[in-house]
A and B are shown apart, each in its own frame.
Chain A
């Protein structure tokens, strides 16, 4: 699955939220719960999407396994490289929102 290392330059929503959630080390299945809580249930990651994306992020070295002795339950954490990419992505998304907000303001279009 090495091909993903080059592919993951822009983050779609699922890997984005997983990287955010894994800024604190977690067991795999707590990530889904934490994302659901973080977004007030507005963003739910399905288990198949979760598993596939975790594998992808691992092979891209954006997250890594934390050795906690218990080998049956895998714990992950976002790597430095992952945090770097996340920062870049946050900036990119902030820019996008800023552009839209600016246009809304110009047109006198209320956001809510």
Chain B
């Protein structure tokens, strides 16, 4: 039986760097990253390794994408939905982002994506809440009212899980832009 361990993530929009440092600390103790898990990472017991981890967002990454990383000494560990990719390399390997322009772009793209999703969720949440409110005056049937309220709460959760990362990425971008 292989020994595995689950490590939670602070949310990629908020604690990407912290997560990567944590993973490299675990690797030193012999817990090697194996893949993504819900709200975290799955590690497997192995040989202790002095390695660093880096994460990148790239929609529909092609073979060339991974070839570039391989050529630069970064090995692919896992991907999520072919849009989030995790790599590792020996400590001392040059970073995957070498300039600020492209790094800003990385977070700009994520911020936009999350912003769009959050906006849609906001509209949906409002619509259902509105229907639910109408229902409490007896203007719509109880079935629709209750259904709307349940869907409203569900979309509210989705709104939180898209809205918070949106602000996380926005913060990150502001920090990056301030440094210039």
Measured CB to CB, the residues of A under 8 A from B are 12-14, 28-29, 32-33, 44-53, 72-74
Interface size for B (C-beta < 8 A) is 24
Measured CB to CB, the residues of B under 8 A from A are 54, 56, 58, 63-65, 67-72, 74, 94-99, 101-103, 105-106
Instruction: Say whether, besides A48-B56, A48-B106, A52-B106, A29 and B99 are in contact (CB < 8 Å).
Output: no
Q: Cβ of B72 and Cβ of A32 under 8 Å apart?
A: yes
Find chain A residues with CB under 8 A from B74 CB: 47
**B contact face: mostly helix, strand, loop, or mixed:** helix
- Top 4 nearest A-B pairs (CB, nearest first) are A47-B68, A46-B98, A48-B96, A29-B71
With CB as the reference atom, state the residue of chain A lying closest to B54: A48
With CB as the reference atom, state the residue of chain A lying closest to B105: A52
Q: Cβ of B99 and Cβ of A49 under 8 Å apart?
A: yes
Q: Cβ of B106 and Cβ of A29 under 8 Å apart?
A: no
Our pick among B63, B64, B102 for the contact of A52 (Cβ within 8 Å) is B102
Find chain B residues with CB under 8 A from A51 CB: 58, 64-65, 68
A-B residue pairs in contact (CB < 8 Å), sample of 25? A14-B98, A14-B101, A29-B64, A32-B71, A33-B71, A45-B99, A46-B72, A46-B97, A47-B72, A47-B74, A48-B54, A48-B69, A48-B97, A49-B96, A49-B98, A49-B99, A51-B58, A51-B64, A51-B65, A52-B106, A53-B102, A72-B63, A73-B63, A73-B64, A74-B64
**A contact face: mostly helix, strand, loop, or mixed:** helix
Give chain B nearest CB distance to A6 CB in angstroms. Answer: 15
Find chain A residues with CB under 8 A from B94 CB: 44, 46
Q: Cβ of A28 and Cβ of B64 under 8 Å apart?
A: yes
Q: Cβ of A48 and Cβ of B102 under 8 Å apart?
A: yes
With CB as the reference atom, state the residue of chain A lying closest to B66: A47
Q: Cβ of B99 and Cβ of A32 under 8 Å apart?
A: no
Instruction: Say whether, besides A51-B58, A52-B102, A46 and B96 are in contact (CB < 8 Å).
Output: yes
Give chain A nearest CB distance to B106 CB in angstroms. Answer: 7
Find chain A residues with CB under 8 A from B106 CB: 48, 52
